[in-house]
Amino acid sequence: MKLLFILDPLDSLKSYKDTSLAIMREAVARGHTLFMCEQHNVFLRNEIVRIKVASFDFNEGANWYALGESKEELPRDFDAILMRKDPPFDKEYLYSTYLLELAVNQGARVINNPSSVRSWNEKLSIAKFPQFAPEFLVTNNNDLIREFLITHHDIVIKPLDGMGGSGIFRITESDPNIGVILETATNFGAQTIMAQRYLPQILQGDKRIIVINGEPLSFALARIPKAGETRGNLAAGGTGVAQPLTQRDLEIATTIGKTLKQEGLFLVGLDVIGEYLTEINVTSPTGMVEIAAQTPCKPAQVFSKALEEIR
């Protein structure tokens, strides 16, 4: 297969733990040909989407990759295009989904489906499955957030477009900095955010459940906060501990997985704290390397097999 990966700059990736690179290594081992580009390399000339790409190979040592010469290709010339650009989901990301949607209409196969990525905000999408979500509020009105805090006493607030735990605050009724936190998070009422009831089960880990073509892996990655920290995200210093899915995890993942598959969301990371769904990550979910290192499960292999089967 001829595969194109849309990535962040290669030098910004952690080659020893990056999920995109784990998928790429498995693809090479299975005999597939790799190409890469960055988000800005996707463009529209008149009505036709085109991409400037470079062939990609792994090297040993500090210079761990080699790129070929840049050349222009049509998206439909690849067996699959994997959009793995990290958030924030800003205007440039939005424009990329429009271009990639046009590419799909012109015969390309893009993972994940760009129109679904655009319509499944990673925080707001839990509203599609209220039976699994904790109590939450989405607003830019600080008075409403204060009322929500009075009701639930202990809450978490977070931006709608971030990743890796950035911009997340935990607030209790006794916090002396409620005002400035809300002013900062909502930009004085100009920015909509999400508030959720705080879930003390976060101390046992924020579980990342990876769903591939509608089917969850048998192990989740519980991201356990470091001492004194509310966030379990690995980027915020959390420790990843792989563990088998619970019955509740499986119920959540299989129920949501059916809808994800229908929507063309091939690779998704569900975030579950205790028994509650807190996020649905459709842009560039991670955790494959940690699960592979700690369990018999090989997520990149599962992903590659699933991709080959629907070729």
Q: Of residues 109, 121, 281, 290, which has the active-site annotation? A: 281
**Ranges of the chain whose pLDDT falls below 70:** 228, 231-232, 235-236, 311
248 catalytically annotated: no
Quote the DSSP letter at residue 30. Answer: T
123 catalytically annotated: yes
CA angle 193, 199, 204 (to 5 degrees): 125
261 catalytically annotated: no
* pLDDT value for 109: 98
Cα–chain center distance at 3: 20
pLDDT digits (tens, 9 = 90+) for 219-266: 999 999 887 677 667 766 789 999 999 999 999 999 999 999 999 999
* pLDDT value for 212: 98
63 catalytically annotated: no
208 catalytically annotated: yes
Percent of the chain with pLDDT strictly greater than 90: 89
C-alpha torsion angle, residues 127, 130, 134, 140 (rounded to 10): 30
* pLDDT value for 231: 67
197 catalytically annotated: no
pTM: 0.94
121 catalytically annotated: no
158 catalytically annotated: yes
Q: Of residues 231, 249, 263, 290, which has the active-site annotation? A: 231
* pLDDT value for 228: 66
* pLDDT value for 60: 86
Q: Set out the domains of the chain in order of their start, with CATH numbers.
A: 2-113 (3.40.50.20), 124-128+201-297 (3.30.470.20), 136-198 (3.30.1490.20)
CA distances to 20, 44, 64, 163 from 14, rounded to whole Å, are: 10, 31, 11, 16
Q: Of residues 26, 101, 263, 279, which has the active-site annotation? A: 279
